[in-house]
Chain A
Amino acid sequence: MTRTAVVLLAVMAAAGTAAGQPTVLRLTWWTDVGLPTPFAFSTLGPGGVVRLTLVYDTLVWKDEQGLIPWLAQAWRPSPDARAYVFTLHDGITWHDGRPLTAHDVRFSFDYYRRHPFRWVDTQLVTGVEVRDRRTVVVRLAQPFAPFLENIAGVVPIVPEHVWRGIEQPERVHDLGVVVGSGPYRLVEYRPEAGLYRFVAFDRYFRGRPRIDEIRYTVTPAERQVLAVQTGQVDQAMATTHDVVRLLTGHPYLRVMETEPLSVARLLFNLDQAPTSLRPFRHAVAHALDRARIGETIVRGPAVVGSAGVVPPTDPWYTPRVHAYPYDPVRARALLRNAGFEDRDGDGVLEGRDGTRLQVELTSTPVRDVDLIEQMLRAVGIDVRLRTVDAATRAQLGAEGRFQMLLTFHTGSGGDPDYLRTWFTGQEANQFAAGSLMRSPAYARLAQLQARAVDPAQRRRYVEAMQIALSEELPTLPLYYRRFYWIYDSRKITLFPTRGGLLNGIPLADNKLAFLR
């Protein structure tokens, strides 16, 4: 009798735990990222656009292997690749219970023409035709090879019945408009403290999420590892490899390493001497021990920068790029051939007219610059440091007011169309001016790869672009960084999204991880 009672109590306790204790995942970021609507989220950093994906869905999505069906269960391009026919999944509902139909897809793209989605430009979509409730045809102004990954996989589909008639969507900050079809509903948002509470959407078309509730809090970046170690949060981000060693053998904390989607690179101004001289740029590439710089900063194994910009770990990488191994002797020889010699014996080279070989390096206060300065000094280049804050660096870069500029950013992964946008002036940020590829041949390759219908042909164009970049060297990638996501394996298992979330974002908050 007693034994039966104990067993019964144990069963009841287990049932109570399973039924009564919702699984709450506590995530953190270093700042508030705005109201998660496609018009009000913060575009400063990728946190805002990724949080959007919990509430809204896209036509396609990505897992660890690449593109997968999402709102659209199937799609096919037209023979000329100027249109894509999407068949929507059956039984999708918005959070307010109304059905999501092909009309909402058409409305979304129409609405974005008037009120641009702030993360990617959708101007290429000229129109959307509704065939029936579940079938839409998205028409493009021209064939666009990255369409599926960079537009269909990024642009959130919004409900027509919520946004129709709203003419200033960025000004709407009512929680009532945050209606999506995604796996989570936003039920609480406190912008002053960056707090978000999402609860699972019971009627999600891909099944109710396994994680019942997701809470986001704010933790200063430098304290995130400590926060997850002390159990204040269940997941945190680090950018140095030492956390892997730190947590090896931990009973439940695991580390997920993303692809190396963040690049540290030097930009050369092609309009100002001496950085306008190609031999000078090549000499700098040989003078810098990029492996040592990367390993010092990452505190572990680093992925050395490829002069063709695409990381060596990426499927689109070609080993035929010019490599620039660390070779100070070669660097000196290149500079000597360009007319720079140490004429007064002070260790710094001078040009034929006696001018010291001096170059200004614009950067935020990071340790990389000390190493760069030492290595360039060793081959006779005098570096003047110009230390500025991030916003000033961005402005100087965008206006081309620099000689050499050190920048760090994500996006070096996923579809390689970034070789076009970064180097032909398509982005309104620090990638824009000063270090663009000027050759018409590169611009033509950039257009051809973007429009290529045949994947093999596209690969040839992309490889040619990498080779052209590595020879011209408007930028020198020093190293690529992985992001290290520490997580509580008792609650969740994280995985690296192929090519990064959306367009090359090394974040771990892939909604699939919350569904599995």
Chain B
Amino acid sequence: MAAAPGRWPPGRYAGVMAALVLLNFFLPRLLPGSPLAGTGGEGVAFLPARTAAELRRTYGLDRPMGQQLAQYLAGLARGDLGRSLVSHRPVTTLIAERLPWTVFLVGLAVIVAAVVGGALGTLAAWYPRRALVRLIDPLVVGLGTLPEFLVAMGLIVLLGTGWQLFPASGAVTPFLPRQGPGGLAAWVLDVLHHAALPGATLVAALVPAFFLLSRNALAATVGAPYLLVARGKGLDERRVLWHAWRNALPSVAALLGLRLGYAVTGAALVERIFAYPGMGLLLFEAVGQRDYPVMQGVFLTASAAALAMVAALDTVAARLDPRLRRGAAR
């Protein structure tokens, strides 16, 4: 059976993944700077020459590039992503500690942004002449022009340190116990409380895209003959809107999927500003320290997540759009 139009056969995913693995290995090493040269800034490392040589030997950085690659691939086959050159901990452990925070924060933000952006887009497309609705367009598009860091700093100054309504850094109150009666519930509330400002920053950055996409997709269908037929059949307006949404849904779902696919590293700046202990902050620190194994591990996780999401989107798109199903059947 032939693949549906635009859908990739499994072999192609494997090929892309193999290319990404190689890219992930070489990319950090192509960056100028060395993990053992020490970093600048206040508090520079005093790394004795003998220690640097010993570290280079321990982590195989003194071997030819081909041998390093072979070692990396052999480790990968065993599920071993190596150890951080800075903390000396296994990269898989570092990722396991950070990934849940990022998935939670970005996942929540993308879903909220999709709902809010979709709702506003629907209003703007469906009731374009209402006075209140006319305000939505410039407000949301204006929001989209604000840089993420500006929104973040504004929220920190106003709601974090100003009125002190929300924590301005971290993912949970330090040392908050999860055990004991009511401990878990308090912990969950605390996590949501901490996610408010970084989450709002991400939502502010994501809403305009969902708004524009859903508004444009729906606006194109407003005068479509099938909607006239639907209205002519006496369907109520909500049913008519649902018919219109069915056509807009694939593109909105594609955007949702793509944003989720890039979740692993997509919030690096926000995580840095809010000291949120996710994958983005891990990557940010690893790049600054040229911690090759950690960079490789994060890139690999991000690549795998993006590819997995593309594959999932293919499947979902076929379910949402009957034309793709027909293509698959031919």
Listed in ascending order, the chain A residues whose CB lies under 8 Å from chain B are 31-32, 34-35, 39-40, 42-47, 116, 118-121, 123, 170-171, 173, 188, 191-195, 197, 215, 217-220, 223, 226, 230, 239, 262, 364, 388-398, 407-411, 425-430, 432, 481, 503, 505
Contacts and interface: CB of A to CB of B under 8 A. Distances in A.
Interface stretch (B35-43, B221-229, B234-242, B262-270): B35-43
Contact of B288 (A32, A191, A230, A389): A389
Given A121-B50, A430-B40, A31 B87 contact: no
Contact of B50 (A123, A197, A220, A397): A123
B39 A390 contact: yes
6 contacts: A116-B54, A192-B94, A219-B275, A220-B273, A391-B37, A408-B44
B45 A44 contact: yes
A217 B97 CA distance: 17
Contacts of B44: 45, 394, 407-411, 429-430
B81 to A, nearest CB: 15
Interface of B: 31-34, 36-55, 58, 83, 86-89, 94, 97-98, 101, 156, 161, 164, 168-172, 174-175, 272-273, 275, 277, 285, 288-290
B83 A171 contact: yes
A426 B40 contact: no
Contacts of B172: 193
Nearest to A394: B37
Contacts of B45: 43-45, 429
A401 to B, nearest CB: 9
The 8 closest A-B pairs by CB, nearest first: A391-B33, A429-B38, A428-B52, A390-B40, A409-B44, A45-B43, A192-B97, A121-B48
Given A223-B168, A395-B32, A191 B48 contact: no
A79 B45 CA distance: 35
B41 A364 contact: yes
Contact of B89 (A45, A118, A191, A411): A191
B105 to A, nearest CB: 13
A53 B137 CA distance: 58
Contacts of B43: 45-47, 409-410, 505
B169 A223 contact: yes
A425 B169 CA distance: 41
B180 to A, nearest CB: 16
Nearest to A505: B43
Nearest to B50: A121
B175 A197 contact: yes
A503 B285 contact: no
Q: Which of A40, A123, A193, A481 has most B Cβ within 10 Å?
A: A193
Contact of B39 (A123, A391, A410, A432): A391
Contacts of B58: 170
Contacts of A391: 31-34, 37, 39-40, 288-290
Contacts of B33: 389, 391-392, 394-395
Contacts of A34: 86-88
Nearest to A411: B46
A395 B48 contact: no
Nearest to A31: B285
A119 B50 CA distance: 11
B39 A428 contact: no
Given A121-B50, A364-B41, A193 B86 contact: no
A94 B46 CA distance: 29
A44 B277 contact: no
Contact of A217 (B47, B88, B174): B174
A430 B164 CA distance: 42
Give the interface centre of A192, A215, A239, A430 by most chain B CB atoms within 10 Å.
A192
Contact of A408 (B40, B175, B273, B275): B40
A195 B45 CA distance: 22
A265 to B, nearest CB: 12
A426 B48 CA distance: 7
Contacts of B272: 220
Point out which of B55, B83, B275 has the most chain A C-beta atoms below 10 A from its C-beta: B275
Nearest to B157: A226
Contact of B37 (A120, A121, A428, A505): A428
A218 B275 contact: yes
**B40, B49, B172: residue with the most chain A Cβ atoms closer than 10 Å:** B40
Given A118-B48, A391-B40, 4 more contacts: A191-B87, A217-B170, A425-B49, A428-B38
A219 B160 CA distance: 14
Nearest to B172: A193
B141 to A, nearest CB: 30
Nearest to B273: A220
A480 to B, nearest CB: 12
A398 B290 CA distance: 15
A17 to B, nearest CB: 21
A218 B89 CA distance: 19
A352 B70 CA distance: 55
Contacts of A171: 83, 88
A232 to B, nearest CB: 9
Contacts of A188: 175
B113 to A, nearest CB: 25
A199 B86 CA distance: 26
Contacts of B40: 364, 390-391, 393-394, 407-409, 430
Contacts of A427: 46-49
Contact of A32 (B32, B87, B161): B87
Contacts of B169: 218-220, 223
B311 to A, nearest CB: 29
A44 B37 contact: no
Given A45-B43, A193-B277, A392-B32, A398 B48 contact: no
Contacts of A220: 169, 272-273, 275
Contacts of A239: 42
Nearest to B47: A428
A81 B61 CA distance: 39
